[in-house]
Chains A and B, each alone.
Chain A
Amino acid sequence: MSVWTIALNTYRESIRNRVMMNILLFAIGLMLLSMVVGEWSLGEQAKVIKDFGLSAMSIFGLLIAIFIGIRLMVQELEQRTIYIIAPKPIHRWEIVLGKYTGLALTLIVNVVLMSAVLLGISFFIEGVLDLYLLPAFFLIYIEILIIVAFALFFSSLMSPQLSAIATLAVYVVGHLSNFFYEYVQVYPDKGLHWLFKTLYYTMPNLEKLNLKMAVVEHLPQPPNAVGIAILYGLSYIVIVLLLTMIIFNRRDFK
Chain B
Amino acid sequence: MDKIKTMWIRAGVAALLLGLCFTVYHTQCLLDREREIRFIDRVPVFLPNGKILKALSMGHYTSLADYFWLHSVIYFGRRAIDHDNMYYLHMLSSGDVKQAEHLKEDPAMHKETSGPRVSGEKQQQWVKNWHTAQSGKPQPPDSIPFMDSKAIPRIFDFPNFGTMDYIFPLIDRVTQLNPYFITPYIFSSVVVLSATGEIDWAIHLLERGYRNNAMRWELPFYLGYIHWIYKGDAETMVRYLKEAVQKPDCPEYVDGLLIGFSRNLKQEEITGLYFKSMLESTQNREIRERIQELLTRLESE
* A contact set with B: CB distance below 8 Å: 37, 40-44, 47-48, 51-52, 54-55, 58-59, 171-172, 175-176, 179, 206-207, 210, 212-213, 216-217, 219
Contact = CB atoms under 8 A, between A and B. Distances in A.
Given A43-B183, A175-B55, A217-B181, 17 more contacts: A41-B70, A42-B287, A43-B285, A44-B66, A51-B62, A52-B66, A55-B63, A58-B60, A179-B55, A206-B59, A212-B59, A212-B60, A212-B62, A212-B63, A213-B180, A217-B180, A219-B180
Contacts of B63: 51-52, 54-55, 212
A37 B55 contact: no
Contacts of A171: 58
Given A42-B183, A179-B55, A213 B69 contact: no
12 contacts: A41-B70, A42-B183, A42-B286, A43-B285, A48-B66, A51-B65, A51-B66, A52-B63, A55-B62, A175-B55, A213-B61, A217-B180
Nearest to A214: B180
A173 to B, nearest CB: 10
Contacts of A41: 66, 69-70, 73
B182 to A, nearest CB: 9
Contacts of A176: 55
Give the interface centre of B58, B59, B65, B284 by most chain A CB atoms within 10 Å.
Answer: B59
4 smallest A-B Cβ distances: which pairs?
A55-B63, A217-B180, A175-B58, A175-B59
Contacts of B284: 42-43
A210 B61 CA distance: 10
Contacts of A172: 58
> Interface on chain A toward B: helix, strand, loop, or mixed SS?
helix
B187 interface: yes
A213 B64 CA distance: 11
Contacts, number: 66
Interface residues of B, number: 23
B74 A40 contact: yes
Nearest to B71: A40
A41 B285 CA distance: 11
Contacts of A43: 183, 283-286
Contacts of B58: 171-172, 175
A212 B58 CA distance: 12
Contacts of B74: 40
Contacts of B62: 51, 54-55, 212-213, 216
Contact of B70 (A37, A55, A217, A219): A37
A42 B106 CA distance: 26
Contact of B73 (A40, A58, A212): A40
Interface string B66-88: 10011001100000000000000
Contacts of B187: 42
B178 interface: yes
Given A40-B70, A42-B73, A47-B66, A207 B59 contact: yes
B281 to A, nearest CB: 13
B180 A210 contact: no
Nearest to B186: A42
B217 to A, nearest CB: 16
A80 B136 CA distance: 74
A34 to B, nearest CB: 13
Contacts of B283: 43
B58 to A, nearest CB: 4
B60 A44 contact: no
A37 B70 CA distance: 8
B212 to A, nearest CB: 10
